Each structure stands twice: as C-alpha cells, then as structure tokens.
Structure 1
Amino acid sequence: PTVVAVDIEQQKMVEVGQEALNLMGRVTEDMKVARPLKNGVVAYFEYTHLFLNEMLKRVTGSVRMFKPQVMLTHPYGITSVERRAVHEATLEALGPRSSVLLISQPMTAALGIDLPIGTPTGNMVVCMGGGCTQAAVLAMHDIVSGQTLREGGLYLDEAIAAYVRKKYGLILGQPTAEQVKKEIGAAVSQDEERSMELQGQDQVTGLPRPLTLTTSEVVEALQEPLDNVFETVRQVLEKTPPELASDIIDRGIARANSA
C-alpha cells in the first residue's frame, strides 16, 4: 500500500507501506500516517518523494552505482499537470541523471496478464486500485476507449463505514472497514450468510461498542459504489467499435488490482 508514517516535527519517514498502514489510527499527535496519492495521482508531493525514495533504497541500496531507470504506472486519462507531478516527484527521489518512463495502468495490467493486445482482437481490462477504477479496451498496442472513475477500494471502505455509522451509530476506522470488506464482503447476495464481530466507537458516548455485521449488510452498503463501477464499464463499452465489443462478449473482461 502507498502509505507513509511521518514524524511531523522532523519531517522524517518512520515507516512505509504495510508497516505504515498498520499504524493508522494508532499514532500520537507528533506522527502522521498519510497516503501520498489520492485518486491515483499525487496529493502530497513531499510524502510522495519520501515514499519513492524509500522504495528505491530497498531496490538499489543507499549508494547507487548506476543511473536509475524507472517505469511508473499512472491512471488512464490523467491531466498533463498530474502526469508532470508524478514525473517530478520521481526525478527528485532518483536524482537528475535518472530517466523516468510513465505508462498507463490498463496497459501494464493487460501486459501483466498476457492479453494479446498486439492483435486486432478487442481486449477489455478493469483495474481497481485504492483511489480509482479504470476500464479500458485495448487492441494493436493502444487503448481504443477508456475511462477512469475517481473511486476505488478506499471508497468501498468509506461506504461500509458510512453504512455502519448511519444504521448503528458506530464509528469505524478505515482499517476495520477494509477488514470487513475482505472477510465478509460481496458484490451480490450469497447463498451462505457470513458474519463478523467487530469493535467500533459509539457516536454518542464515544465508548467502544461491539457489533456483528453480516454479508447481506455489506452487499447493501456496497451497492452504490459498485453501481458506479458497472456504469463506468458500460460507458466504455458504449464508446467501443462494434467489432471489438463483439470480441469482448466472446472473451470476457479481465480484472486486475492496482496499488
């Protein structure tokens, strides 16, 4: 996960990735746990720089004996300003002698799952990351039609937390909502009803209170955000040439996760 834990006073990174995510909601006032990216683009330039610098250290070591060459993915359809922010943050982390190549996430997802995108056959991929969801149709090494919804996995977590707060008057943190999504979440009603016991903060008293949540309730909570995803896919298919759309009907849609 693209998360950093930072010492506010020293502006020094304490943890990064999963270790930082584990600290969310558990740190003192002199520390901040933040997501450098929002909806797939740079939201905090300095934190993005810290995150990239740490990731590069883990790959190359603290002393770099060669000119780094890095390929980064970005959401389909971002603006030139957003693209430049990613490029500049990476160059600052790498150094001026480095080179950076940016490529759209649907393209890398299709390459990663070995779709035949170099042929005239239509291929469709849906990428859901933490901050955005992308749907794209690819053929002949190009994106024929595509669209990005600025909602992703984190928006699903927010929908679960909002549902619980409205129905039960209980406040859930994002990590707890994500755990609910992973353990008992579903897009449609299931034959087997699962449940999960969790702890939240009472909205009135501020005290901890237990709650048992079921799969059917999570399905209800996720209905609106998932409808938005389905609508995005539908709009992309509407803009796709009939011949390629016919290929997709025969071949299906590939789904990929992105960070």
Structure 2
Amino acid sequence: MFDHLSLLNLYSEWGVDETLTSLCTNHLENVKPTTAIPIIKTSSSHSSNFLRHQNYSLQAKNIEDICQAITSFKDYPLYNTAMHSVLPKGNPLAPFFVIGEVPDADEDRNGQVFFGQSEFWLRQMFDSIQVSLDDCFCMPLIPWRPPGGRQLSINELTTCLPFLYKALEIYKPKFVISIGTLPARTLTQSSAPISQLQGKWHTIHLPQTHITLQLFPLRHPSQIQASSKIRQETWRDLLRIRSALYKTEID
C-alpha cells in the first residue's frame, strides 16, 4: 500500500492539483443492483376501442362507412400524429381506382389525396389519354402520414391496409392504377423495383377473398420529372392503360 507521501508524489506526477471530494470512494465495493422499472400496461379500454374500430372497417358496406371508420380510428398512433386523415374522393363506381402513395406533407396539411404538385402532374398525365382525374376514384394507400414522413413499419402498413382492401372488395373496379413504388409493391405482394413492375398489367388477389383485380403500376409524378427516359416509359404505360379502357368501351 502507498504511504501518504508516496501517494502525494504519484498525484503530482499525474498532474492532479485539486481534490473533487473530501470523501474516499471504494471502487471495489460491490455495486448494488438497480431496481427494475415496472412496465406500464396499455389501457384495456384503448385496446378494445382500437379493435372495435378496426372490425368496423371490415364490416363496411359502402365508401361512407369506410370514411366513418377512418375518422373514428382515434386510438391509433398515426391518427393522432397526422394533421388530417386523408380520405378517398371521387366516384367509387368509376372504372378506375387510382391508389396513391403514403400521404405527403401537402396531402397531410389539406386532408386531400393527390393535392398540390402531385395532383397537377397527375391530371396532366391522365388528360393526355382523355381520362379525367375527376372521373376516377382516388384513395391513398393508408389514410395518415407518418411523423416527419418517415418510412412505414410493417405493422403500421398491415393495420391500415384493411381500409383500402375493403373499398376494393366492395366496388371491384375494372382497373386499379397504383401511383408510386410502395402501392405497386404492396398490391402485387412483390419486392421488385418499380422499373420491373411497370409496363404491364398484374392480376392481384385481395386477402381473405376470392376477388382478383387488374392492376397497372405507374411511377409517381415526382419520379417522372427526373429524366426524359422515365417520361417516355410513362407515356407508353399511359397508352397501354388507354388501350385497355378503349377495349372495354367497345366490349
């Protein structure tokens, strides 16, 4: 053991010129275990309300019921962090269902699907093949924007999809047009990039039903502005959609 003089000399060599405490600390003493923090259980009333509203969406008979289920989903975290619920719009009996991406900032602020620049460019795209966006039924993939526009979790996507699936199940549109990567991947149940999904029709199957629908993926307007090659590919895709609609009109 060091004597007092040796210890002072050691402190001097180490550059210690002041003490921080007058009490000695035994660093070899056994550390007392910390008390575990009790887990706070989720309120059973919130859980029951959450399940009740989710089941209500599955029992919807029309688009009004679906909108009611969305606006009543108040126990869900995304509902509370979003500025607005982005509801579907248009005629649900239209031949085209246009499915948008997760709501962006403009859509979240205004509570409307395809708002602002997205709506402007989408109208231009559809007008080029003599299809009015007003004659389509538009619905976002999910009704709420995640905080800060972060990526959706698998659990969040699974929880919110029944609203969209129920609308597709009730109205069974002739054509489903997805806008952007995530709607295309989700509805085709594929992990392929949008470049591999676009350019052709896909037969999609609605979960827990025997219903099949025809889906055509399009790039999001923000992607189309990125390069002339993508614009050319999108123009060919729009012509394929117009051809399918024209064939249906003749039949």
Q: Same fold (TM over 0.5)?
A: no
Q: TM-score, normalised by structure 2?
A: 0.23
More strand, by proportion? 1
More helix, by proportion? 2
